Amino acid sequence: MVNVPRLVIAAPSSGSGKTTVATGLMAAFAARGIAVSGHKVGPDYIDPGFHTLATGRPGRNLDAYMCGPDLIAPLFAHGAQGCGLAVVEGVMGLYDGASGLGELASTAHVAKLLRAPVVLVVDASSQSRSVAALVHGFASWDTGVRIGGVILNKVGSDRHEALLREALEESGVPVLGALRRAEGVSVPSRHLGLVPVAERRADAVAAVAAMAGQVAAGCDLEGLLALARSAGPLSGEVWGAGEAVGGAFGGGAVPLPAPARNRGSAPDPAPRTPEGARAGLEGPPRGLDPAPEGLEGARAGRPVVAVAGGAAFTFSYAENTELLAAAGAEVVVFDPLRDEALPEGTRGLVIGGGFPEVYTPELSANEPLRKAVAELAESGAPVAAECAGLLYLARSLDGLPMCGVLDAEARMSKRLTLGYRDAVALVDNVLAPAGARMRGHEFHRSVLEPGAGEDPAWGMHRPERRVEGFVRRGVHASYLHTHWASAPGAALRFVERCRG
């Protein structure tokens, strides 16, 4: 049973000010001495970086598509342990979820799973009385969603605020804040959204402080805290990495027959049995491998797993590294922009997502590290790379040499590739046995040629059927971003391969 006061910060659409309000609230309450936990609905990596800055705790994602609805409350409870308040920032509009799948993974869905009141942030810059109709529509659309208050954003003047408040008196939804237009709280953005904290830390610190000041001045913090405390207790277990790799949230996914690997061919559908449905598209597997016997004894020798970090590789879910550690690894973070060697004793390498295109010259100039990565991969050691990591392992990126682990060339593109994916492992690899299902997402403006190796990493089901990525010796490289809480066996399998 978990009883953490909590709020979900939502909006009618993207661009309404959710990040400003959510991050500002986190920082404002933290400044009052309250331990605050920050969460983000959906797969986005960048907003949680600002949450971390605001709260001093790891920002965490709550993604009901990748992890499944049943893990949302346990993952929330894990992140919010010991806190006096949890603030959950929504994604897109309140009712926008995975396309074609109803409410799944929407902010509304997560709010219901958490039994949390919703605060609706409304961009009021071009309306007055119509705001009441807008709020009424959102409040009445789904009676399972409790909209407990409204924060008016981009209010133009005292007169404008008065008109808005007067209109909302008829809606029955209280106004818990009114924020004026303020340039000082803006955060720099570029082709994939906000600029990550790691790249502009001083600017990010100043932006978070400005958000906190604006929210503290314009919002009813006592009213918001009272609303958060009105959330009832959550039943169920608290997720833990140790329990996950031990099988409490794991177990083995039902292996599925590997489909034909011709390009453009489709994997076979999941078996229509209860077990097959659970391992297939109706819900992601809770684990790829059961925990081996004697795991505790094997942890006496902890293999070093190097995890890429720094400004070029900022995309990572906190639970992934927690699972690696729980599976027996000594996790050591290194910076490919600064470090000329892998951490001493490295037995495995994880390279997540980020913005290598912003630092291509610097990454290319670090030839000693590029050679070290290539030598590690050539030795057969486990290497897991996602998106930016995939580009880093290619021969080149925009014509500049990279690690040369993969026989492929990478280049940036104007075309945005974005969305959830359903995938199946086509061959045994360091993360999954052949036939294991995984859900993830893609988020990039780059092209790799070829897009798949002789042994592709994944056969994709959604949104189109194709093969993607590379499996070569101990290397698993793909555009697919994955959240290992949905499949803790991936971390366990990776660490076991590191032990050799």
Which residues share a beta bridge with 351?
385
Q: Can you tell me the distance from the alpha carbon of 349 to that of 430, in angstroms, rounded to the nearest whole number?
A: 11
Phi and psi at 183, nearest 5°, equal: -70, -30
Instruction: Determine the residue type at 173.
Output: V
Is 387 designated active site? Answer: yes
Q: Can you tell me the distance from the alpha carbon of 47 to that of 43, in angstroms, rounded to the nearest whole number?
A: 10
Q: Which string of b and e fits 400-417 if b means at least 16 CB within 10 Å?
A: eebbbbbebbbebeeeee
Q: Which string of b and e fits 257-293 if b means at least 16 CB within 10 Å?
A: ebbeeeeeebbeebeeeeebebbbbebbbbbbbebee
Q: What is the dihedral of CA 357, 333, 207, 194, to 10 degrees?
A: 30
Phi and psi at 30, nearest 5°, equal: -65, -35
* CB of 129 closer than 8 Å to CB of 167: yes
DSSP of 413-474: EEEEEEEEEEEEE-S--SS--TT-EEEEEEEEEEEEESSB-SS-SEEEEESS-EEEBEEETT
Nearest by Cα to 219 from 58, 24, 57, 45: 24
**CB-based contacts of 400: which residues, under 8 Å, 6+ apart?**
360, 361, 363, 364
Tokens 């990525």 sit on residue: 469
Instruction: Determine the residue type at 1.
Output: M
3-state class of 262 per DSSP? coil
> Strand pairing of 85-89 and 118-123?
unpaired
Nearest by Cα to 471 from 439, 436, 441: 436
Q: Which of 67, 219, 387, 403 is catalytic?
A: 387
Q: Is the peptide bond before 343 cis (omega within 30 degrees of 0)?
A: no
Enumerate the active-site residues.
387
